[in-house]
Amino acid sequence: MIEGGIRGILLYELKRDLRKKGIVLILVFTALPVIAAIAMKALGVAVDEERLWAVMMGFDIGAGAASGLVAGLGIAGWAWLVAVVYGGDLLASDLREGGYRLIAVRPVGRRGYAAGKMIALAAFLVVAFTAAGAAVAVAATLVGGPQSKAWMAPLLGALIGLGSLQIALLASAFGALTRNPMTGFILGAAVTLLTGAAVGLALGVVVLRDPFSVESWRRYYELTILASGAIPILAGPTLPSIIYYLVEFDNTFIPLPLPLVDDPETAASLVELSITPAEVLPLYAASTIAGTLVLAYMNYRIALRVEA
Mean pLDDT over the full length of the chain: 81
Cα dihedral 196, 202, 207, 209 sign: positive
7-17: average pLDDT: 68
Q: Is residue 256 helix, strand or coil?
A: strand
- Spatial neighbors of 121 by CB under 8 A, at least 6 apart, are 86, 87, 90, 165, 168, 169, 172
Give the 3-state DSSP-derived string for 166-214, with helices as H, strands as E and coil as C: HHHHHHHHHHHHHCCHHHHHHHHHHHHHHHHHHHHHHHHHHHCCCCCCH
Q: Select the highest-mean-pLDDT range: 1-15, 32-46, 154-168.
A: 154-168
* Rounded percentage of the chain residues whose pLDDT exceeds 90: 31
* The predicted structure's pLDDT at residue 197: 92
CB neighbours (10 Å) of residue 126?
Answer: 18
First to last CA, the chain: 22
Q: Is the pLDDT of residue 265 over 70?
A: no
Over the Cα atoms of the chain, what is R_g?
21
In terms of residue numbers, what domain contains 168?
2-305
Global confidence as pTM:
0.84
Number of separate domains in the chain: 1
The answer to whether the beta carbons of residues 156 and 137 sit under 8 Å apart is: no
- Lowest-confidence pick of 8-17, 151-160, 232-241, 289-298: 8-17
Confidence class of residue 135 from pLDDT cuts 50, 70 and 90?
confident
| Ranges of H-type helices in the chain | 2-19, 22-42, 52-57, 65-72, 75-87, 92-97, 99-104, 109-144, 152-178, 181-207, 214-230, 232-248, 264-267, 277-305
**CA 29 – CA 35 distance, rounded (Å):** 10
* The predicted structure's pLDDT at residue 59: 85
**CA 36 – CA 143 distance, rounded (Å):** 11
Residue 99 burial (10 A CB sphere; 0-12, 13-18, 19+): middle
Cα dihedral 84, 85, 91, 93 sign: positive
Q: Is the pLDDT of residue 148 over 60?
A: yes
Q: Give the pLDDT confidence of 68-101 residue by residue, as tens digits.
A: 666 667 788 888 888 898 888 888 877 776 666 6
For residue 181, give Cα distances in angstroms to 73, 109, 164, 173, 303.
25, 22, 18, 10, 15
**CA 74 – CA 70 distance, rounded (Å):** 6
* The predicted structure's pLDDT at residue 1: 44
Q: Give the pLDDT confidence of 174-227 residue by residue, as tens digits.
A: 998 888 889 999 999 999 999 999 998 999 888 877 777 778 888 999 999 999
15-31: average pLDDT: 66
For residue 242, give Cα distances in angstroms to 188, 229, 247.
24, 10, 9
156-181: average pLDDT: 92
Instruction: Tell me the backbone φ, ψ of residue 208, rounded to 5 degrees.
Output: -85, 60
* The predicted structure's pLDDT at residue 2: 45
**CA 109 – CA 112 distance, rounded (Å):** 6
CB neighbours (10 Å) of residue 223?
Answer: 16
Check residue 216 and report its DSSP letter.
H
For residue 249, give Cα distances in angstroms to 13, 245, 254.
40, 5, 8
Q: Give the pLDDT confidence of 110-130 residue by residue, as tens digits.
A: 777 788 888 888 988 898 899
The answer to whether the beta carbons of residues 51 and 248 sit under 8 Å apart is: yes
